[in-house]
């Protein structure tokens, strides 16, 4: 069966450090992968999309890598801030391409 | 900035009752979705809708669920006979084009509590 696995344990880091979150998947052949942010009680918010032919994508302090051989994506937040505290979700398309499946997410806490 | 709006924000219902959750997607978007999130669990796909028909549905989306786009602006999710396990946050989402070209825009959710 298709699985999207993200670190289930919360990640606690100090302000200013780089946070690295991992997304591993099985039984997907994704042409792209998306990352979202979710705050408690709110809907997910899109952050980045990376395609299979892109090894790395950046947006301001965010960086995503995508290794289709390892079946893994890494999500980095550099110079982290307390406002970055949230749950970060990895998402892959279902076979038809008409929907995204989400991982359970990794909770990030950035402390001053 | 355009946004997806959902009503009600919170609904409490008795088991066995019918519930309709309403969504107004972003106006020029073509693809519409419903997701649910049981407390503490992951965001789960229910159904996607394009060109006035269901394009994909998950195993969760059984016969008790239905979706409708009754006019040019609303997109509804109906649960015919609610069960305790239907208690969850239900998110509507829309996208302007296929998912390979961009993102899902989510609403703030409708919290459903079934007693």
Among the partner-chain residues A42, A99, A105, the one whose CB lies closest to the CB of B33 is: A99
Put simply, the answer to whether B99 touches A41 (Cβ < 8 Å) is no
Put simply, the answer to whether B104 touches A44 (Cβ < 8 Å) is yes
Q: For residue B2, what pLDDT is reported?
A: 82
State both tokens at A7: 């670190």
Put simply, the answer to whether A94 touches B56 (Cβ < 8 Å) is yes
Q: What are phi and psi of B36, to 5 degrees?
A: -135, 155
Best residue of B21, B103, B105 to probe chain A, by most A CBs closer than 10 Å: B103
Q: For residue B97, what pLDDT is reported?
A: 86
CB burial class (10 A; 0-12, 13-18, 19+) of residue B99? buried
Q: Dihedral sign, CA of A74, A101, A41, B29? A: positive
3-state SS class at B58 = coil
Identify whether the C-beta of residue B39 lies closer than 8 Å to the C-beta of residue B88: yes
Put simply, the answer to whether A99 touches B48 (Cβ < 8 Å) is yes
**How wide is the angle at C-alpha B91 spanned by C-alphas B26 and B27, nearest 5°?**
5
Please report residues of B whose CB lies closer than 8 A to that of A96.
Answer: 55-56
Put simply, the answer to whether A43 touches B103 (Cβ < 8 Å) is no
Asked if A3 has any chain B CB less than 8 Å from its own CB, the reply is no
Q: For residue B72, what pLDDT is reported?
A: 78
Residue B92 CA to residue A96 CA, distance in Å, equals 19
Residue B34's nearest CA partner among B84, B86, B71 is B86
Please report residues of A whose CB lies closer than 8 A to that of B58.
Answer: 99
In chain A, how many H helices and how many E strands? 0, 11
Tokens 């693809």 sit at which residue?
Answer: B31
State both tokens at A100: 């995204």
Put simply, the answer to whether A102 touches B44 (Cβ < 8 Å) is yes
H or E segment to which residue B76 belongs: strand B75-79
Q: Tens of pLDDT along B10-29?
A: 999 999 999 999 999 999 99
**How wide is the angle at C-alpha B62 spanned by C-alphas B52 and B11, nearest 5°?**
85
Mean pLDDT per 10-residue section of chain A, whose length is 112 residues: 90 97 94 95 95 93 96 97 98 88 97 96
Q: For residue A1, what pLDDT is reported?
A: 87
Q: Tens of pLDDT along B29-84?
A: 999 999 999 999 999 999 999 999 999 999 999 999 999 998 878 999 999 999 99
What lies within 8 Å, CB to CB, of B72 at 6+ separation is: none
Please report residues of B whose CB lies closer than 8 A to that of A38.
Answer: 43
Residue of B nearest to A32 (CA): B100
Q: What are phi and psi of B5, to 5 degrees?
A: -115, 140
Residue of B nearest to A35 (CA): B103
């Amino acid at each position: 069966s298709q699985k999207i696995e993200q670190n289930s344990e919360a990640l606690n880091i100090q302000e200013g450090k780089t946070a690295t979150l991992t997304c591993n998947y099985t039984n997907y052949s994704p042409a792209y992968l998306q990352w979202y942010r979710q705050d408690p009680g709110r809907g997910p918010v899109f952050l980045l999309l990376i395609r299979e032919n892109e090894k790395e994508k950046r947006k301001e302090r965010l960086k995503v890598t995508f290794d289709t051989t390892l079946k893994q994506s890494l999500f980095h937040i550099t110079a982290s801030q307390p406002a970055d505290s949230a749950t970060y979700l990895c998402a892959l398309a279902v076979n038809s391409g008409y929907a995204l499946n989400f991982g359970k997410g990794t909770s990030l806490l950035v402390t001053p | 900035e355009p946004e997806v709006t959902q009503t009600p924000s919170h609904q409490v219902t008795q088991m066995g009752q019918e519930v309709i959750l309403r969504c107004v997607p972003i106006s020029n978007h073509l693809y519409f979705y419903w997701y649910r999130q049981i407390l503490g669990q992951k965001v789960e796909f229910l159904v996607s809708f394009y060109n006035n028909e269901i394009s994909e549905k998950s195993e969760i989306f059984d016969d008790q669920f239905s979706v409708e786009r009754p006019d040019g602006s609303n997109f509804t999710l109906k649960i015919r006979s609610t069960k305790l396990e239907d208690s969850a946050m239900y998110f509507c989402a829309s996208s302007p084009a296929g998912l390979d070209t961009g993102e899902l825009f989510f609403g703030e959710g409708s919290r459903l509590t079934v007693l």
